[in-house]
Amino acid sequence: MSSDTASSAGSQEGQENQRGGHEICSKVLNVDKRRFYIDLKENDRGKFIQIVALLNVRRKAKLMMTLPIVKQLIALLDKLEINESTEYPKPVGRILSASRIYFADLRKNDWGNFLRLTQAFNRTAKRYQIYIPVEGIPEFKKLLQEIVDEYGADVEEPKLPASQQLRDVRNKMFYFDCNSNDFGDYLRITETRFNSDNRTSITISRKNLQRFHDILGDLVKSFNELRTDEKDVKTEATA
């Protein structure tokens, strides 16, 4: 190999390491004849975890999350209760970062029951998903916790209002998540439907939240007054 070729190859390798990060540690989860790699890596932006699911010899699925996101995922899994009466599909929760949103939910198909983890991007429709058999959830959570305990002690959680959610009678869920990025704090409202992967989101900056709140309050008041007037008219008509 010529020196120019070697230099070019070394440069490409360096760029790959910068993007993908160098590996700090790796753990393996084997469950139901499936293998998952949980790798802790670090690049110029900091430490992050890459979860890789081997689908077959040529295919694999993967997603990435920072250590603060991993801590929140562990907290969600700590609250998760699965038993014979568990109904599928079942939303577990969602986590927001500055540029990504993560969804966790329980799913069921002909091959069994799974925890589905979805990584979506705020500005694009691109998504990554992995499916972990429910019997592997305790060990999966244990491996994540081991990494956090050893390498995530200095990672601080962002101080933001707690997320909230609303379940609609028409098989919908509304999620209210606060987050922050380089442009400031904001609220993201996400609408999802059960048995569907479609999600619709809007974001409202913190400086506009009060006005947004006032407008909603005015609309609720107007609706209540209009419907009360209609009810009174119907009552008079039947009297």
Gap between the Cα atoms of 93 and 218, Å rounded: 31
Instruction: Specify whether 48 is located in the same domain as 138.
Output: yes
Average pLDDT over every residue of 126-150: 94
Instruction: Specify whether 175 is located in the same domain as 141.
Output: no
Sorting pLDDT into bands at 50, 70 and 90, what band is 233? low
Instruction: Specify whether 128 is located in the same domain as 205.
Output: no
Instruction: Specify whether 142 is located in the same domain as 171.
Output: no
CB 173 within 8 A of CB 192: yes
pTM, full prediction: 0.64
Q: List phi, psi (to 5°) of 79.
A: -85, -10
Instruction: Write out the DSSP string of 36-55.
Output: EEEEEEEETTEEEEEEEEE-
Instruction: Specify whether 57 is located in the same domain as 148.
Output: yes
Task: Look over the chain and give the mean of its residue pLDDT values, rounded to a whole number.
Answer: 82
Domain closes at, from 131, 152, 173: 152
Which pLDDT score, from 0 to 100, does residue 122 have?
A: 65
For residue 217, give both structure tokens. 């309050």
Q: What angle do CA 7, 9, 14 make, to 5 degrees?
A: 95
Sorting pLDDT into bands at 50, 70 and 90, what band is 132? very high
Total domains, the chain: 2
Q: Give, as one character, the DSSP assignment of residue 156.
A: P
Whether residue 27 is contained in a domain is answered as yes
Domain closes at, from 118, 152, 186: 152
